[in-house]
Amino acid sequence: MQYFILFVFTFAQLFALDSNALRQKALNRGMSSIPTDFTDLISQVDDANNPMTVAKIKLGKKLFFDKNLSLDRSISCATCHELKKGGEDSKPTAIGYKNQKNPSHLNTPTVLNTAFSKHLFWDGRANSLREQAKGPMQAHFEMASTPELVEQRVQENPQYRKKFTETFGDNSITFDNITKTIAVYEKTLVTRGRFDEFLDGDNDALSSQEERGLNLFIDMGCKGCHFGPAVGGQKIQKFPLRDFNSILNLTTTFNEETKGRKVKNISLAFKMYRLYPFENRGGFLGKNGERKFRVPILRNISKTGPYFHNGVIKTLREAIKIMSKHQIGVDLEKDQLDALEAFLKSLDGNIVEYEFKEFK
């Protein structure tokens, strides 16, 4: 069956779609470009429970970069979400307060294009940016603060007191309002690149190899999970879908890793088993321990390595091979791998500089 699939893909490449047909194919399958106009962005990502305003955006930007919100005044949101590094920190595992590593060896997801995410965190436990923003501030291994301390630090700043009163009214410096402004600012951190130009009608935006990669991306089923403006962030999906270990391998691996020792904690013993096609560093098992993960955003993916939840895989090329084999059951030929890698690199882009002055 696998060889038949590869044959179909190769045969289809001989009769590749022209650019116009490929564009329509992508649009019909849930892919879309990032808005160039701020009004259009608002229409797609605004939250009735936290409406976007220029005042909130400007206030949220200051708070996003403010290290005073952390316990020892050394870490801001921007410390881990570096906008010049693809919206994350390029480290295998996130480092926080007093150089503590994330206890599950989780790396930092990008903040870029999360405006379009329906699920946040690796296990998808948050459904909005305003909810997500509350987590890192309070986590003892990240910013190690508390809602009360964050409010106190903001109260200390006369400019903040003035801006919060103007934006929300009197007595408005609350943890909830603070995270609302950060969330609104983060919604403006969206990127556009050549892929957007292609979707918007420029037939010269992508190379022929990148177009072949896009066609493969659609036909192989990658777009079934990675769709929408951010090319991801819309679903929670099991990984891997195709388990690469048999029951025999489970027993063998378990025996090798325990080396005959008695393991009293069955949950810990289970985590020791390699559930992924790479080292199970950190033992994280996703949502409800069922290996279900928020589908990552693929925009700027070439800049957001190392890859997967625990940052074990260093190269984009290896990540593509793993996803192809263990999610859709295909061992890629070299030319297919080249094309897919080229397409994914075309998703790189720059943060859109929106004009805010006409909005209130």
* pLDDT tens per residue, range 42-96: 999 999 999 999 999 999 999 999 999 999 999 999 999 999 999 999 999 999 9
Asked if residue 265 has pLDDT above 60, the reply is: no
Helix (H, G, I), strand (E, B) or coil at 236: strand
The string of pLDDT tens digits covering residues 100-120 is: 999 999 999 999 999 999 999
Residue 34 per-residue DSSP state = P
Provide the pLDDT for residue 273.
Answer: 45
pTM of the model: 0.88
Rounded to an integer, the average pLDDT of 145-155 is: 98
The string of pLDDT tens digits covering residues 327-338 is: 999 999 999 999
The CATH class given to the 38-186 domain equals: mainly alpha
pLDDT range class, residue 261, cuts 50, 70, 90: low
Asked if residue 251 has pLDDT above 50, the reply is: no
- The one-letter amino acid at 193: G
Provide the pLDDT for residue 95.
Answer: 96
- The whole-angstrom separation of Cα 317 and Cα 336 is 11
* Fold agreement (2-32+193-247+252-351, 38-186): yes
Rounded to an integer, the average pLDDT of 111-135 is: 97
Contact 178, 151 (CB under 8 A): yes
Active-site residue identified among 88, 131, 142, 358: 142
Angle at 279 between CA 273 and CA 281, to 5 degrees: 85
Query: How many Cβ atoms from other residues are within 10 Å of residue 341's Cβ?
Result: 22
Contact 299, 349 (CB under 8 A): yes
Partnered with residue 238 across adjacent β-strands are 292
User: What is the signed CA dihedral for 9, 324, 113, 35, rounded to 10 degrees?
Assistant: 10
Contact 183, 135 (CB under 8 A): no
- The whole-angstrom separation of Cα 202 and Cα 128 is 33
Contact 254, 76 (CB under 8 A): no
Asked if residue 358 has pLDDT above 70, the reply is: no
Provide the pLDDT for residue 356.
Answer: 75
- What kind of architecture, by CATH, is found in domain 2-32+193-247+252-351? Orthogonal Bundle (1.10)
Q: Is 142 a catalytic residue?
A: yes
Provide the pLDDT for residue 14.
Answer: 45
Domain residue spans of the chain: 2-32+193-247+252-351, 38-186
| Burial of residue 39, with CB atoms counted within 10 A of its CB: 0-12 exposed, 13-18 middle, 19 or more buried | exposed
The string of pLDDT tens digits covering residues 270-324 is: 444 468 999 999 999 999 999 999 999 999 999 999 999 999 999 999 999 999 9
